[in-house]
């Protein structure tokens, strides 16, 4: 056997094993540029070492004498391509492929539509209206701030405190009727020139809207303060019929309780003249002057057959219709109904339930228990109503003395963190008592606490009519407490204002409960995908001993075992958890006297709605 070994830099052809480059030899193996050949008429030698003796380098290079010519690739001509295009066979193939592609796209589209229709819907956050975003700050401009030293507050004084209003996120203002001209009689059209004039008010409304703020006017169009029952706001015209004493029909009648609660006589909305004048003023302020909303007292009508007053549902519907017509030309408007506490049990209609301002607590008893609060909330559901959209402490039209065993901190927390929009009276953020002091106190300066620089005898007499003690509390003092919230009601108000901006308080569900044994009331605010919160109230007035409880069991396992501490009032009552990041909700100690605890937890893996629903079904079983 002979072996030809040649050197070459060319690569070994792919078909070298089939056609040897040497006529009488075949390739035995190849690696890169190296190949072994087996020639004819030679005995095959299995010992490669004998066949290929090693060179000194151990590498042999084989040179190929000739290469096999690979046929050149010749593409189809244009004529040949056209012949295939017009070929009936290929036309059918292309048509079938096109039909299949279109059918596949249609199937994908139908599948997507079916998936959207039948898939589980995620809870979406509906956009909030302007009056649902922020609290409503009720202001008496005459008592807020005096800019011209005449002893009366005015709109310029209000504007001078704009930094204060913005600092505490106050964006919606409810102006009391003192802004209207009070001489002779109140007509709810002319403004009090000592407080503001019409031109200034128009500019003020434009400024407010540029700052994304809103103004609501208090218009008691359903009653008159003329106790003789003759004069009213209708252009100096006497009423068609004098209003008789409503209590002639009985002390418990609607008309009598209306008069006693508000000290105003109800107008009869059966009278065409009364209806027209009220509607004119609604259109004037909502449309012509572009205010954002109005607050009205409850309209009544006199039933000639029963000789009793009753709620005028027709009037309420007509006012709402006017509002809807105005909204087509402007933005969303608001009509609120201010109803005395004593009259809430007369409200049977559900059509204007969401426009009523409800008290945060039941005022029928001075001693409030946790069970009473729970039952008050349940009463809305039992009457097939949703929770109120608006909450209040009280109304300045009322002469009721609101006496309760609960601290103002507890009442404020419920008002601010319940679902709905809170209405806060000016000075309530300082814990001022309106029945004693109607002036807003800004500094510790005597005699008016920074309200006015007026030094005349008339001003001094006016200031001494109120039990003013600016040394005890004022805005400047409460802002300078270095974060000691127990001494600063204003700082606590600021904390709650920021907390209610969380999505769980804006959009989240509301679950509540109570412990009759410990007199504890609690509620949960939580939104899917957001941090959850539990607010716990201890309503006991006296401190006896620490309460040991399991929040995990108290809330029927609606909260996780591991929770975080957020806030506690009062600060110095019991500070066991203030420095702890994670707390075991199954093993808690809390103060036995009136206190507030706020806890939170991380986002749950299961939707809160699903979890709470399963927990309720478990309790029923």
233/156: higher pLDDT = 156
Q: Which residues pair with 438 in a beta bridge?
A: none
Dist CA 417 CA 314 (whole Å): 34
CA dist 605 and 275 (Å) reads 56
| pTM assigned to the model | 0.77
List Cα–Cα distances, 524 to 289, 427, 505, 600, in angstroms: 41, 28, 9, 9
Whose tokens are 């830099």? That residue is: 9
- CATH class (in words) of the domain with range 503-620: mainly beta
Closest residue by Cα to residue 423 from 112, 212, 139: 139
- % of the chain with per-residue pLDDT over 90: 42
Contact in structure between 30 and 17 (CB atoms under 8 Å): yes
Q: Are 383 and 416 in contact (CB under 8 A)?
A: no
**Residues contacting residue 147 through CB under 8 Å, at least 6 positions apart:** 154, 156, 157, 160
User: Which among 556, 560, 534 has a CA at the least distance from the CA of 619?
Assistant: 556
The helix (H) or strand (E) run that includes residue 595 is strand 595-601
CB 65 within 8 A of CB 6: yes
Model confidence over 192-250: pLDDT tens digits?
Answer: 999 998 999 999 999 999 999 999 999 999 998 887 777 888 766 677 677 888 888 88
- Considering only CA atoms, which of 437, 482, 445 is closest in space to residue 463? 437
Map residue 117 onto helix, strand or coil: helix
User: Does residue 134 have a pLDDT over 50?
Assistant: yes
Helix (H) or strand (E) holding 260, with range, is helix 254-262
| Nearest alpha carbon to residue 267 among 236, 239, 304 | 239
What's the angle, vertex CA 383, arms to CA 377 and CA 388, rounded to 5? 45
DSSP 486-552: TT-HHHHHHHHHHHTTSHHHHT-EEEEEEETTTTEEEEEEE-TTS-EEEEEEE--SS--SPEEE-HH
Helix residue spans in 347-465 (DSSP H): 370-382, 408-417, 457-464
Average per-residue pLDDT in the chain? 81
What is the arithmetic mean of pLDDT over 50-62? 48
Give CA separation, 283 vs 189, 267, 277, 331, in Å: 11, 19, 10, 14
Q: Which residues pair with 392 in a beta bridge?
A: 359, 423
The residue among 356, 374, 406, 426 whose CA lies nearest residue 539 is 406
How far apart are the C-alpha atoms of 425 and 557, rounded to whole Å?
A: 37
Count CA within 13 A, CB hemisphere, residue 82.
Answer: 3
The CA-based diameter of the chain, rounded to the nearest angstrom, is 143
Q: Tell me which residue of 527, 561, 453, 560 sits closest to 160, measured CA to CA.
A: 453
Q: How confident is the model at residue 398 (pLDDT cuts 50, 70, 90)?
A: very low
Q: Are strands 532-538 and 520-526 parallel, antiparallel or unpaired?
A: antiparallel
Angle in degrees, CA 163, 167, 170, rounded to 5: 95
> Is residue 159 a contact partner of residue 195, using CB atoms and an 8 Å limit?
no
Query: What is the share, in percent, of the chain residues with pLDDT greater than 70?
Result: 78
CA 104, CA 548: separation in Å to the nearest integer?
Answer: 65
Q: Closest Cα to residue 468, out of 486, 492, 451, 482?
A: 451
CA-nearest of 302, 319, 315, 312 to 239 is 302
Average pLDDT of the segment spanning 104-123 = 82
Write down how long the chain is: 621
Q: What is d(CA 326, CA 338) in angstroms, rounded to the nearest whole number?
A: 22
* Both structure tokens of 498: 């920021």
What's the first-to-final CA gap in the chain, in angstroms? Answer: 97
* Banded pLDDT at 395 (limits 50, 70, 90): low
Is a pLDDT exceeding 70 seen at residue 112? Answer: yes
pLDDT of 86 reads 75
Collapse the DSSP code of 363 into the 3-class scheme (helix H, G, I; strand E, B; otherwise coil) and give the result: coil
For residue 550 the two structure tokens come to 């399991």
**Spatial distance between the Cα atoms of 27 and 21, rounded to a whole number of angstroms:** 9
DSSP state of 452: -
At 5, is the pLDDT very low, low, confident or very high (cuts 50, 70, 90)? Answer: very low
The H or E element that residue 136 is part of is: strand 136-139
pLDDT digits (tens, 9 = 90+) for 326-384: 999 999 999 999 887 778 878 876 668 889 998 887 665 678 899 999 998 998 888 77
Evaluate whether 194 touches 148 at the Cβ level (below 8 Å). Answer: no
59 CB-contact burial (10 Å; exposed 0-12 / middle 13-18 / buried 19+): exposed
Angle at 219 between CA 263 and CA 433, to 5 degrees: 60
DSSP E strand boundaries for 198-345? 214-218, 223-224, 265-266, 293-297, 300-303, 308-311, 334-338
Given pLDDT bands bounded at 50, 70 and 90, which one contains residue 184? Answer: low
Q: How many C-beta atoms surround the C-beta of residue 397 within 10 A?
A: 20
- 471 pLDDT above the threshold of 70: yes
The three-state secondary structure class of 564 is: strand
Q: What is the pLDDT of residues 407-445, one digit of tens each?
A: 889 999 999 999 999 999 999 999 887 777 789 999 998
């Amino acid at each position: 056997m002979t072996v030809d070994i040649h050197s070459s830099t060319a690569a070994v052809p792919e078909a070298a094993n089939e056609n040897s480059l040497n006529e009488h030899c075949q390739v035995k193996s190849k690696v890169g540029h190296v190949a072994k050949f087996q020639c004819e008429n030679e005995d095959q030698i299995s010992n490669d070492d004998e066949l290929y003796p090693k060179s000194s380098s151990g590498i042999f290079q084989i040179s190929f004498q000739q290469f096999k010519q690979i046929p050149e690739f010749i593409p189809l001509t244009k004529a040949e391509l056209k012949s295939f295009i017009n070929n009936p066979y290929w036309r059918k193939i292309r048509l079938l492929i096109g039909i299949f592609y279109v059918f596949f796209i249609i199937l994908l589209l139908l599948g997507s539509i079916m998936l959207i229709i039948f898939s589980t819907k995620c809870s979406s956050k509906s956009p909030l209206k302007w009056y649902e975003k922020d609290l409503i700050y009720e202001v008496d401009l005459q008592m807020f701030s005096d800019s011209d030293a005449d002893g009366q507050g005015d709109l310029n004084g209000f504007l001078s405190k704009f930094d204060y209003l913005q600092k505490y996120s106050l964006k919606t203002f409810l102006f009391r009727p003192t802004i209207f001209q009070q001489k002779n009689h109140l007509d709810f059209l002319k403004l009090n020139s000592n407080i503001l004039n019409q031109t200034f008010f128009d500019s003020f409304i434009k400024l407010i809207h540029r700052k994304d703020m809103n103004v609501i006017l208090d218009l008691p169009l359903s009653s008159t303060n003329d106790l003789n029952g003759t004069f009213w706001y209708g252009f100096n015209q006497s009423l068609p019929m004098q209003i008789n004493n409503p209590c002639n029909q009985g002390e418990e009648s609607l008309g009598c309780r209306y008069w006693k609660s508000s000290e105003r006589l109800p107008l009869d909305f059966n009278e065409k003249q009364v209806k027209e004048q009220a509607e004119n003023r609604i259109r004037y302020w909502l449309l012509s002057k572009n205010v954002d909303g109005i607050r009205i007292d409850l309209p009544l009508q006199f039933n000639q057959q029963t000789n009793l007053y009753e709620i005028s549902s027709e009037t309420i519907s007509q006012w709402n219709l006017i509002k809807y017509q105005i909204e087509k030309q402007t933005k969303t408007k608001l009509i609120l109904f201010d109803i005395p506490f004593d009259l809430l049990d007369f409200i049977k209609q559900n059509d204007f339930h969401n426009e009523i301002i409800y008290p945060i607590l039941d005022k029928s008893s001075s001693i409030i228990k946790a069970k009473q609060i729970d039952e008050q909330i349940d009463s809305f559901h039992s009457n097939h109503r949703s929770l109120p959209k608006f909450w209040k402490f009280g109304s300045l039209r009322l002469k009721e003395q609101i006496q309760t065993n609960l601290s103002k901190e507890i009442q404020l927390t419920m008002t601010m963190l319940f679902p709905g929009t809170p209405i806060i009276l000016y000075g309530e953020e300082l814990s001022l008592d309106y029945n004693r002091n109607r002036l807003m106190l800004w500094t510790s300066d005597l005699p008016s606490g920074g309200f006015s620089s007026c030094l005349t005898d008339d001003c001094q007499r006016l200031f001494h009519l109120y039990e003013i003690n600016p040394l005890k509390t004022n805005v400047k003092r409460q802002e300078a407490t270095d974060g000691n919230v127990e001494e600063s009601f204003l700082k606590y108000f600021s904390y709650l204002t920021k907390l209610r901006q969380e999505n769980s308080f804006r959009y989240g569900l509301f679950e509540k409960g109570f412990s009759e044994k410990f007199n504890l009331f609690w509620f949960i605010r939580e939104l899917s995908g957001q941090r959850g919160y539990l607010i716990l109230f201890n309503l006991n007035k006296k401190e006896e001993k620490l309460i040991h409880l399991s929040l995990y069991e108290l809330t029927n396992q609606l909260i996780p075992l591991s929770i975080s501490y957020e806030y506690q009032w009062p600060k110095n009552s019991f500070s066991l958890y203030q420095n702890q990041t994670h707390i075991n909700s199954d093993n808690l100690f809390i103060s036995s006297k009136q206190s507030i605890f706020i806890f939170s937890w991380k986002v749950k893996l299961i939707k809160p709605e699903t979890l709470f629903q399963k927990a309720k079904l478990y309790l029923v079983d």
